[in-house]
Structure 1
Amino acid sequence: MTEFNTPLGTVIIEKHEKGDTLANLDIDPGLSNFRPYRRQKEALIDIANQPQGWVVIARLDNKIVGYVTFHPPDEFTRWGKARLPFLLEMGAIEITPDLRGTGLARKLLTEAFSDPVLEKYIVMSTEYYWHWDLKNKGMDIWTYQKMLENLFSSAAGMERVYTDDPEITSHPANMLMVRFGKELTPEQIEQFEILRYAGKKMF
Structure 2
Amino acid sequence: MNTANLKSYSQNTLTGEVFVEGPVSTANLEKMSMNEGLTSFRPADRQKEALLKITELPEGMIYVARIGQEIIGYLTFHYPSKYSRWSKHPRVLELGGIEVSSSWRKKGIGTALLQKAFTNPIVEEYIIVAIEFCWHWDLRGSGLSLLAYHRMLISAFRKVGLTKRATDDPDILEDPANVLAARIGKNVSEEDSLLFENMLLENKKGLLM
> What displacement does 1:107 show?
1.1
- Report the secondary structure of 1:177's partner residue: strand
> Which one of 155, 162, 168 corresponds to residue 158 of structure 1?
162
Does the 8 Å CA contact 1:16/1:22 hold for their aligned counterparts?
Answer: no
Residues of 1 paired with 2:85 and 2:188: CA distance?
21
Amino acid at match of 2:12: N
> What displacement does 1:14 show?
1.1
The alignment status of 1:179 with 2:183, answered yes or no, reads yes
The alignment status of 1:99 with 2:104, answered yes or no, reads yes
- Identical-pair percentage: 38
- 1:42 corresponds in structure 2 to 49
Superposition map of 1:20-169 within 5 A: 20-80=27-87, 82=88, 84-154=89-159, 156-169=160-173
Residues of 2 paired with 1:62 and 1:170: CA distance?
38
> Which one of 174, 177, 182 corresponds to residue 170 of structure 1?
174
Residues of 2 paired with 1:59 and 1:114: CA distance?
18
Task: Output the TM-score relative to the length of structure 2.
Answer: 0.90
Mean Cα deviation higher: 97-106 or 64-73 = 97-106
Does the 8 Å CA contact 2:24/2:64 hold for their aligned counterparts?
Answer: no
Residues of 2 paired with 1:72 and 1:6: CA distance?
33
Residues of 1 paired with 2:173 and 2:103: CA distance?
33
- Report the secondary structure of 2:36's partner residue: coil
Structure 2 unaligned spans of 5+? 1-7, 204-209
Task: Output the TM-score relative to the length of structure 1.
Answer: 0.93
Structure 1 unaligned spans of 5+? none
Residues of 1 paired with 2:136 and 2:9: CA distance?
28
Does the 8 Å CA contact 1:4/1:10 hold for their aligned counterparts?
Answer: yes
Residues of 2 paired with 1:62 and 1:46: CA distance?
19
Residues of 2 paired with 1:174 and 1:97: CA distance?
21
The number of residue pairs the alignment matches comes to 197
